C-alpha cells in the first residue's frame, strides 16, 4: 500500500536506535508520526527535528498507552521497544525475567490489542514487529530474551490469521547484529563495549532497518511482506557445538 494511503504511525522505542531511525524515515514519507519512549529529552529533540508528536511513556505502563490509543487513529504500528539482560538462565534473575516479558512481549500484545481492531474495522493498516535472530536460532545468551522474541514472532504470524479477509498487513523484521546503542544500554557505554560489538565489524545501521520497514510498508496493497531477516554479510546465525561430559576429579576408591 503506498504511503499516501496511510496517514498516521505509532513507533515505540523511538528515542534511540532503530526506533529513532524509523520515526525519521516515516516522517520523511509524510506520515504524522507518534513517537513513544521513556526519554522525554530525547523525544523533544526528535520532535524538533522531524515534526513527530512525542509521548514520554514507558511501554510497561498500560494505562497511558490505553488513553493514547483511544485518542488517535493509527494506520501503521511499529513495535521497536526492547530490552535485554544477558545472563545464562541458570543464573537468571526474577526481576530481569519480568522486565523482558513486560517490555518485549506484554507491551506488544497490549498495543496490538488496542490498535489492530481499528485497523481491521477500517480495512487498512500495517503492523511491524521488530524481533531478533535470537527468536529463531539458539546461541549463547539470555534465554528469556530468546523466548520473548520467539513469542513475538509467533504473534506476528498469528495476527495475519486473525485479520484474515482484511487489508491489515503484518511484517516481522528479524535483525541480527546492528550498529546501534543497544549494546551500550545493555553492557555499559564504554570503549570495551564498542570494541566487543561495534568497532571493526561491518554492520547494518539503524537506517538500514528503517529502509527495510519502509520497503514493506510501501509495497502494493495486494502484497504482504511477512518476514525479513537482516544480518551482517559477515555474520551467520546458528551453529553446532559439541562437548565431552565432565570427568569427575574425585579419586576412585578400590572395591
Q: What is the pLDDT of residue 254?
A: 58
Domain boundaries, the chain: 3-180+206-230
Residues of the chain with pLDDT under 50: none
Q: Is the dihedral of CA 39, 40, 42, 43 positive or negative?
A: positive
Q: Residue 2: what pLDDT?
A: 66
Burial group, residue 233, by CB count within 10 angstroms (0-12, 13-18, 19+): exposed
* Residue in 6, 137, 145, 227 annotated catalytic: 145
The answer to whether the pTM exceeds 0.85 is: yes
Per CATH, is 3-180+206-230 categorized as 3.40.50.300? no
145 given a catalytic annotation: yes
pLDDT tens digit string along 165-199?
999 999 999 999 998 877 766 766 778 777 777 88
Amino acid at each position: 500500500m503506498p504511503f499516501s494511503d496511510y496517514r498516521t504511525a505509532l513507533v515505540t522505542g523511538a528515542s534511540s536506535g532503530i526506533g529513532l531511525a524509523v520515526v525519521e524515515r516515516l516522517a520523511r514519507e509524510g506520515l504524522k508520526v507518534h513517537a513513544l519512549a521513556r526519554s522525554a529529552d530525547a523525544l523533544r529533540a526528535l520532535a524538533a527535528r522531524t515534526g513527530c508528536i512525542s509521548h514520554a511513556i514507558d511501554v510497561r505502563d498500560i494505562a497511558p498507552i490505553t488513553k493514547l490509543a483511544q485518542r488517535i487513529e493509527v494506520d501503521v504500528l511499529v513495535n521497536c521497544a526492547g530490552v535485554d539482560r544477558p545472563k545464562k538462565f541458570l543464573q537468571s534473575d526474577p526481576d530481569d525475567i519480568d522486565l523482558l516479558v513486560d517490555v518485549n512481549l506484554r507491551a506488544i500484545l497490549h498495543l496490538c490489542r488496542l490498535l489492530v481492531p481499528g485497523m481491521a474495522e477500517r480495512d487498512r493498516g500495517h503492523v511491524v514487529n521488530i524481533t531478533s535472530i535470537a527468536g529463531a536460532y539458539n546461541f549463547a545468551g539470555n534465554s528469556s530474551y530468546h523466548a520473548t522474541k520467539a513469542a513475538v514472532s509467533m504473534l506476528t504470524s498469528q495476527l495475519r490469521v486473525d485479520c484474515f479477509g482484511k487489508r491489515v498487513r503484518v511484517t516481522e523484521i528479524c535483525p541480527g547484529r546492528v550498529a546501534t546503542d543497544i549494546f551500550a544500554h545493555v553492557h555499559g557505554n564504554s570503549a570495551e563495549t564498542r570494541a566487543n560489538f561495534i568497532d571493526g565489524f561491518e554492520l547494518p545501521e539503524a537506517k538500514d532497518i528503517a529502509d527495510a520497514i519502509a520497503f514493506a510498508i510501501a509495497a502494493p496493497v495486494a502484497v504482504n511482506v511477512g518476514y525479513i531477516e537482516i544480518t551482517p554479510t559477515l555474520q551467520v546465525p546458528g551453529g553446532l557445538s559439541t562437548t565431552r561430559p565432565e570427568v569427575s576429579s574425585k579419586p576412585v576408591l578400590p572395591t
